[in-house]
Chain A
Amino acid sequence: MSLASAPEGHVVRPAAVGADPEPAIRTLGLTKRYAEVTAVDDLTLTVRRGEIYGFLGRNGAGKTTTIRMLLGLVRPTRGRVSIFGKDVARERVAAAAMVGSTVETATAYPNLTVRENLEIQRRSTGASRQAIDRAVAELGLEEVAHRRAGRLSLGNKQRLALARAVLTRPRLLVLDEPANGLDPAGIVEIRTLLRRMARQDGATVFVSSHMLGEVAQLVDRIGIIHRGRLVEEIDVAAGASTVRLELAVSELERATKVLATQLGIEARVAGDDRLVIDGGAAAAADVARLLVAEGIELHALCPVRDDLEARFLRLTGDAA
């Protein structure tokens, strides 16, 4: 299908027609240190064009610092960031021209109305005047469009921040906790809007959150960040849950060694007598046979299904 023959409202992504293959976001060894604290530690991730990527982590995990580095607001101690191939450190303006963003708390000029705040964004980005009307309508701000931002509720301030982000119909949306302050209906509206921008306009969406349920319903892929490190990436579309194998054995060290050398399986110690093999449920029979053959007492062997929440809690250190 050529670009010319694409049906109205459906964008053929450049990658699909063999154009520039650069991903929407690429970070390489991204690190940020503040004195003794390492906020982001050797973060390497790739966000593909057109996907909705959830960046999940507990409070203080390094999500906002990562976003600030993506936007050129914070200088990395080490590592690089590129947006559609544009190096943020060297070509910040060109990279920023492709991005709409919200960072942390929603802020606005309190003495200006909603429309005036959007007018500032419009002038700064070169968007059309119609873009303001569209953003106001899309974010449900019609009733408060002429109200000063300083008098808006938290939810409407958040809507205004999102309206600024989508004003130019950017190729990449970087949203930091976009559901903050929104009521449940508002969260659904925003989710629908973001999904539409990704599916119809071909926009890439990078959304950070500490709210698992909110992210899981929206994204294609999730990256879990913990203490500044990307600890796992989960393909939500391919099924977020996995099955792990938990074992209670008599000799932890020997069992780990035997499994690694003879089956090539990496087991991790999860307690005084417990081993865990992530995604190892399929090998349960082989594992049992080997351990018994080696004379290691096998007290229990249990496949455990990890849903997204359980995985998140386990990876971020709060597993039950």
Chain B
Amino acid sequence: MKLGTAVLTELLKLRRARVVWILAAAYALAPLMVGLMMSVLLHPALGHRLGLLTLKAQLTVPAANWATYLGLVATLSAGGLVVLAVAQAFVFGREYAEGTAKDMLALPVPRVTFLTAKLAVSALWFVATAAAVYAEALVVGAVLGLPGYAPGLLAATSVRVAATVAEVVLAGSVAALLAVAGRGYLAPIGVSILLLLIGDLFAHSGWGPWLPWSMVLLTAGAAPGAAVPGPASLAVLAVFFLATAAATWWAMSRTDVS
């Protein structure tokens, strides 16, 4: 089977899968929450009615304008680590959880073809979701009527979000390995949340540019003032991705399907 056919076959497996829409809906709540925080700052009367949320907004958001809003939206893109983990948990883990792995892996198809197609489809799913949520965020910002819009600001944020999404694809593919090794959904999602927290912890230390999950947060702007990953960091990330993919292939090829 050619890789293109394998990718189309993996896409077919997602047809009518509710998780695609549930995941998109859950991720789409994030810009709405940021928009709400902006809104309470823009409209103090509304803020009085919302109590604690207003207090949180006042503490975490310096000002209600496009620069602050887009900064927060870019930060949200680092949460893509969890979104990709869910996508990969489904694309890889469902084969084991639903017992279809034994049928799939008995097919006359090299396992590296399955691996590549599944990585491509889960990345495609994640990128499409992230793009849709980013577009939604821009619409929310426009509807709120935030002050201080500048085309350059939008372009810079778009580049930052795109870079973060690309890094998420590279750093987050460890979820595929966990789904195959753990033979199900739970391990990739649980461990990815944990890795995001660990990444956040190290993002503020000097190790941030060298730890894949911290790099994502640094690129997203989640640790203002910290060093941004440079070419050497990106090379580490690329090697990490290749090593993770190789380990996933090994797990698919060498472990028993029972």
Give Cα A135–Cα B17 distance, bound, in whole angstroms: 25
Interface size class of A (residues with CB under 8 A): 20 to 34
The answer on a CB contact under 8 Å between A103 and B110 is no
Contact of B102 among A104, A120, A124, A125 (CB under 8 A): A104
- Residues facing A in B87-129 (CB within 8 A) are 98-100, 102-110
Interface assignment of B49: CB less than 8 Å from any CB of chain A: no
Shortest Cβ distance from B20 into chain A, in angstroms? Answer: 10
Taking the complex as formed, is A47 at the interface, i.e. its CB lies under 8 A from any CB of chain B?
no
Name the one of A72, A99, A101, A109 contacting B100, with C-beta atoms under 8 angstroms.
Answer: A109
Asked if B56 is at the interface of the complex by the 8 Å CB criterion, the answer is: no
**CB closest chain-A residue, reference B18:** A111
Q: CB of B43 within 8 A of chain A? A: no
A68 with B102, Cβ < 8 A, contacts A123-B1, A124-B9 known: yes
Q: CB-CB contacts of A95-123 with B at 8 A, as 1s and 0s? A: 01101010111011111100010011101
B107–A110 touching, CB < 8 Å: no
Q: A174 — nearest CB in chain B belongs to which residue?
A: B106
List B contacts of A121 (CB < 8 A): 107
Decide: B98 and A125 in contact? CB cutoff 8 A. no
A147 within 8 A of B: no
Contact A120 B12 (CB under 8 A): yes
By a CB distance below 8 angstroms, the chain B residues around A108 are 100
What are the residues of chain A within 8 A of B107 when measuring CB–CB? 96, 121, 124-125
> What CA separation (Å) do A245 and B26 show in the bound complex?
74
Interchain CB contact under 8 A, B8 and A101:
no
Please determine whether A93 and B110 come into contact, CB atoms closer than 8 angstroms: yes
Bound Cα distance from A161 to B100, whole angstroms: 11
Complex A-B: 10 CB contacts under 8 Å:
A68-B102, A72-B105, A73-B106, A107-B99, A109-B13, A109-B98, A123-B1, A123-B12, A124-B6, A125-B107
Query: A103 near B98 (CB under 8 angstroms)?
Result: no
Q: Are A72 and B106 in contact (CB-based, < 8 A)?
A: yes
B256 near A119 (CB under 8 angstroms)?
Answer: no
Alpha-carbon gap, A110 to B90, bound state (A): 13
Closest CB in chain B relative to A111 CB, distance in Å: 4
B108 contacts which chain A residues (CB < 8 A)? 93-94, 96-97, 99, 124-125
CB A190 to nearest CB in B, in angstroms, measures 18
Quick check: is A148 within 8 A (CB to CB) of the other chain?
yes
| A101 and B106 contacting across the interface, CB-CB below 8 Å | yes
Q: Which residue of B lies closest to A126 (CB)?
A: B1
A194 on interface, CB distance cutoff 8 Å: no
14 further contact pairs, Cβ within 8 A, besides A72-B105, A109-B13:
A71-B102, A71-B106, A73-B256, A75-B256, A97-B108, A103-B102, A103-B103, A103-B106, A119-B12, A123-B1, A124-B1, A124-B108, A125-B1, A164-B103
Chain B residue at smallest Cβ distance from A95: B108
In the complex, whether A17 has a CB less than 8 A from a CB of chain B is: no
A269 contacts which chain B residues (CB < 8 A)?
none
Contact between chains at B100 and A107 (CB < 8 Å)? yes
Query: B5 an interface residue at 8 Å Cβ cutoff?
Result: yes
Q: Which residues of the other chain, B, contact A125 by a CB distance below 8 angstroms? A: 1, 107-108
B106–A74 touching, CB < 8 Å: no
For B255, the closest partner residue in chain A by CB is A75
Closest to A119 in B: B12
CB-contacts of A147-202 with B (<8 A): 148, 161, 164
- Write the nearest CB–CB distance from B175 to chain A, whole angstroms: 20
Residues of B within 8 A of A164 (CB): 103
B8 touches A123 (CB 8 A): yes
Shortest CB-to-CB span from A53 to chain B, Å, is 19
B1-44 near A? 1/0 per residue, CB < 8 Å:
10001101100110111100000000000000000000000000
**Docked complex Cα distance between A125 and B106 (Å):** 11
Question: Looking at the complex, which one of B8, B99, B109 makes contact with A105 (CB distance below 8 Å)?
Answer: B99
Say yes or no: A93-B103 contact (C-beta < 8 A), given A110-B98, A112-B15: no
3 interchain residue pairs of minimum CB distance: A97-B108, A107-B99, A96-B108
Task: State in angstroms the CA–CA spacing of A119 and B16 once bound together.
Answer: 15
* Residues B102 and A148 in contact, CB atoms below 8 Å apart: no
With a cutoff of 8 Å between Cβ atoms, the chain A residues found around residue B258 in the complex are 68, 73-74
Decide: B106 and A120 in contact? CB cutoff 8 A.
no
